[in-house]
Amino acid sequence: MENDQLIAIEVFCTSYDVEYAFVESLQDHDLIETVIVDNTRFLQIPQLNRIERIIRLHHELDINLEGIEAIQGLLSRIEHLDRELNSLRNRLRFYEPGL
């Protein structure tokens, strides 16, 4: 991944007012992925929306990491089912153009 798609965890923590240990715990629970470049840990910028959602769930709704794992799993399943539904609708429109 190119370096312009990375943000240092220290910079992220300062900007979002979260503790470094919290980001490490997200990594430990496989909720996010980090990249190490020159002994510095980075977050991938395309993951920021997901990380922001996790922070809101944890801080605003006081949901623990296990609960966040469950929520993320359900959201992933919903996104997969939504893509599958759109694919099936497109196939149906091919065979029945009036729909």
Instruction: Give φ, ψ of 39 to 5 degrees.
Output: 60, 20
Strands 40-44 and 6-8 turn out to be antiparallel
pLDDT at 95 over 90: no
Closest CA to 26 of 60, 50, 1: 50
**According to the model, what pLDDT value does residue 97 have?**
78
Confidence class for position 94, pLDDT limits 50, 70, 90: confident
pLDDT at 6 over 70: yes
Q: What letters, b where the CB count within 10 A reaches 16 and e where it falls short, cover 41-66?
A: bbbbeebeeebeebbebbeeeebebe
pLDDT at 99 over 90: no
Percent of the chain as helix, strand, coil, to the nearest 5: 65, 10, 20
Higher per-residue confidence, 34 vs 1: 34
* Mean of the per-residue pLDDT values of the chain: 91
Residue 27 near residue 33, CB atoms below 8 Å: yes
- H/E run at residue 90: helix 65-95
**Which class is domain 3-95?**
mainly alpha
